[in-house]
Structure 1
Amino acid sequence: MEKQERRQKLLENLIYLIIWVVILVSPLLEHKYNGETINWNDIFRAWKMIAPFFILFLINNYVLIPFLLIRKKSWLYLLFSLLTVCLIFALNPFVKLKRPGGMEKHPPREFMMNRPPKEEMPGPKFPMEKEPPRQAMRPPMWQMPGMISPMVNFILTAILVLGLNVAIKLLFKSIRDEHRMKELEKHTLQTELEYLKHQINPHFFMNTLNNIHALIDLDTEKAKETVLELSKMMRYVLYDATQPTLPLAKEIAFLDNYIGLMKLRYTDQVEIGVSLPEEIPNVQIPPLLFISFLENAFKHGISYRRKSFIHLSMKVKENEIECLVINSSFNNATEQHKGIGLENVKKRLRLLYDNDYTLDIQSENNEYRVLLIIPIQS
């Protein structure tokens, strides 16, 4: 983040540099364009007239904007900007105020060069070498006859400098603010995802330990096998699932181990069907997205008095993964729909994919169906 802000700051200063270089070079280009010989006195005079506006830019860019405008002290910024413009105008030696009637108190020397010649004395005229015409120096724009008053002209130019400076500064500030908001949203998203993922772990282990507890009295050997299966699943949840994404093959293996653990507990009266892809592509998905659907299916979809079934089907298509869980329902669909694990998955899906996913939950004809379709992230 800091590196990105330094780049933007460098780009902003580079834009200022380019603008002022163009302004300083423009007098030279004007002479070249008009086919005139470069008169360095004229160039230096033009640069001296530009200097007050450059000083105004420096004060505005490095003092007034950072300490007043950026800190939302708008009225103080306007006041001090106006005072700065007036002070620079008052100290500018190149602005000569006009007397009433349009005549200057001290006409510029260059205007004296264009005065009509004095009346020649009568007498014999001798051929003399013709003196080349002297080129008059162009007066500053605010001293041209008929132009706007010097103060108004200076203030308008100063407003243009300040306005352009503020526009560029606020543009880059908005870019930096937007970048910071994205970083903050990303950090908040990651924090919330970690919180939701850690909520899944205790919920999952609580259910699994209850299953092992029930198996100990029924079948000790099956209980031992269950502990081994649980150790594999704990390794996945505690170590592998801490990553933002994992290969799809690991998630499928985790689901297969969980189903194997559940088969050890339930007898043949529960029909458990599994259809997983044989060839698993090398794609990455967020961990622990599907386990909550299986947990809810085994928790709410099995009855010891009635025949029950649980079917898991997963298909990997070109750009998406489709997971379908169907289980028997015994008038407890409302309870299953409001499970803690399922609510966590819904929040994670919204945070991870926004609206780019499908979660369809239906309960009818003693069946509870959950269809989840997520995009494959490249």
Structure 2
Amino acid sequence: MFSNWFQTTKSLLLHCFFWIGVWFFFVYFFSYNSNDTLYITWFSSLLLPITLLTTYITIYVLIPKYLLTKKYAQLLLYSFYTLAMSVYLITLAIYGSFIFITKLDIAKVPPMGRNFIFILILVYLIVAVISFVYILNHNFNVQSQFKALENKILETNLQIKQQELNYLKKQIHPHFLFNTLNTIYGLSLKKSEYTPDVILKLSNLLDYILYQVQKPKVVLSEEVAHIHEYIDLEKIRFQERLKIDFTTAIENDALLIPPMLFLPFIENAFKHGNIINHFLTVSIRLQATKDQLNFYCSNSAYLKEQESSTGIGLENIKKRLALLYPEKYNLNITTTTDSFAVALEIKLK
């Protein structure tokens, strides 16, 4: 309430100061080669309300209602009415001043007040300048509002993407946990000595999943460390039946990436690989430079009949990649009778 009152008062004061300035401009203009302050003061005072009325009709009626709405026919019609009205009032002011102030003595009329065309130009020049400033200010406000709306839309889209990413992460966590708990369950049935070690490694992975994965980015070295922990879990599960090759070539261990970017691929390589000649073969390569990230993962003899049951992990990671690296990544998934291979290339710049 107070803020609105303050803005209204401020606007009124600015308008008052402006029109006082216009009045002084009229006085200065008509004072050229004339010392008749009485005529100059009264004539300027008569001309000011006519200029004010014409200006306000132009900027508050003609421009917003007809020019900005592109109603050009009405604009021409009402502009003509406004012009006729203002010319009539200016004429009355000129003749009224000549009759009542100078008492029909043309010598008392200032040189600049004798030319009807000059007076019209003076009045309409002020109207034109104010109208031009009004249109500029209107365009600036419209562009500012458009920019604010655009920023709001971008912010909303970003929030939607973030919510979708969080939703996808929440889907990945139970999927990953379910597979690992199956491993622990199998070991516990066998009363395996590796069960405590598996539980400890799972605890570390859960800490990563529940806390670190909430961050938008994690250090690449952390991701690699947890990949090693996951591989260790699978080594315990498969024991001698696993042939694993995990190689890395990383220029910068402090490189930031989204959490759990590679684990779903690796998890599917273990889950859906087929044991041939008593071995499951998994190959993983990770290369990182300052400009590009390359990841490759393959397993032995991927079973095509299981392709529809690869779970939600791969689908989620595809959606995450589309949200996180739009048009900056290339994902190739190759399925043959001998292997299932994933090749991911991400441009970091």
Q: Is the 1:300–1:336 contact (alpha carbons within 8 Å) kept by the matching residues of 2?
A: no
Candidates 223, 229, 246, aligned match of 2:201: 229
Q: Is the 1:289–1:345 contact (alpha carbons within 8 Å) kept by the matching residues of 2?
A: yes
Where in structure 2 are the equivalents of 1:283-294 lying within 5 Å?
Answer: 283-294=255-266
Counterpart CA distance in 2 for 1:359 and 1:313 is 15
Counterpart amino acid of residue 88 in structure 2: L
Counterpart CA distance in 2 for 1:53 and 1:157 is 12
State the 4+ residue runs in structure 1 displaced beyond 3 angstroms: 24-28, 35-60, 103-106, 108-117, 145-148, 152-166, 277-280, 304-307, 336-339
Instruction: Please give the TM-score of this superposition, normalised by the length of structure 1.
Output: 0.66
Q: Is the 1:283–1:376 contact (alpha carbons within 8 Å) kept by the matching residues of 2?
A: no
Which residue of the partner structure matches residue 121 of structure 1?
none
Counterpart CA distance in 1 for 2:254 and 2:157 is 29
Q: Does 1:144 align with 2:117?
A: yes
Q: Is the 2:272–2:303 contact (alpha carbons within 8 Å) kept by the matching residues of 1?
A: no
153 and 57 in structure 1: CA distance in 2 versus 1, 3 angstrom threshold: closer
Cα displacement (A) at 1:210: 0.7
Identity across the alignment (%): 25
Candidates 142, 145, 152, aligned match of 1:170: 142
Which residue of the partner structure matches residue 320 of structure 1?
292
Q: Does 1:191 align with 2:177?
A: no
216 and 36 in structure 1: CA distance in 2 versus 1, 3 angstrom threshold: farther
367 and 160 in structure 1: CA distance in 2 versus 1, 3 angstrom threshold: same
Candidates 210, 219, 223, aligned match of 1:251: 223
The one-character-per-residue Cα deviations of 1:28-69 (angstroms, maximum 9, x if unpaired) are 6xx79xx99999959877865654466568867xxx98xx99
Counterpart CA distance in 2 for 1:328 and 1:53 is 86
Q: Which runs of 5+ in 2 are unaligned?
A: 1-9
Equivalent position SS for 1:268: helix
Where in structure 2 are the equivalents of 1:332-371 lying within 5 Å?
Answer: 332=304, 335=307, 339-364=311-336, 366-371=338-343
Counterpart CA distance in 1 for 2:33 and 2:324 is 67
Cα displacement (A) at 1:276: 2.5
Candidates 86, 95, 108, aligned match of 1:107: 95
Equivalent position SS for 1:325: strand
Instruction: Please give the TM-score of this superposition, normalised by the length of structure 2.
Output: 0.71
Counterpart CA distance in 1 for 2:137 and 2:104 is 40
Q: Is the 2:250–2:288 contact (alpha carbons within 8 Å) kept by the matching residues of 1?
A: no
Where in structure 2 are the equivalents of 1:30-109 lying within 5 Å?
Answer: 41=41, 51-52=52-53, 55=56, 95-97=86-88, 107=95, 109=97
Counterpart amino acid of residue 97 in structure 1: Y
- CA-atom RMSD, angstroms? 5.0
Counterpart CA distance in 2 for 1:192 and 1:350 is 11
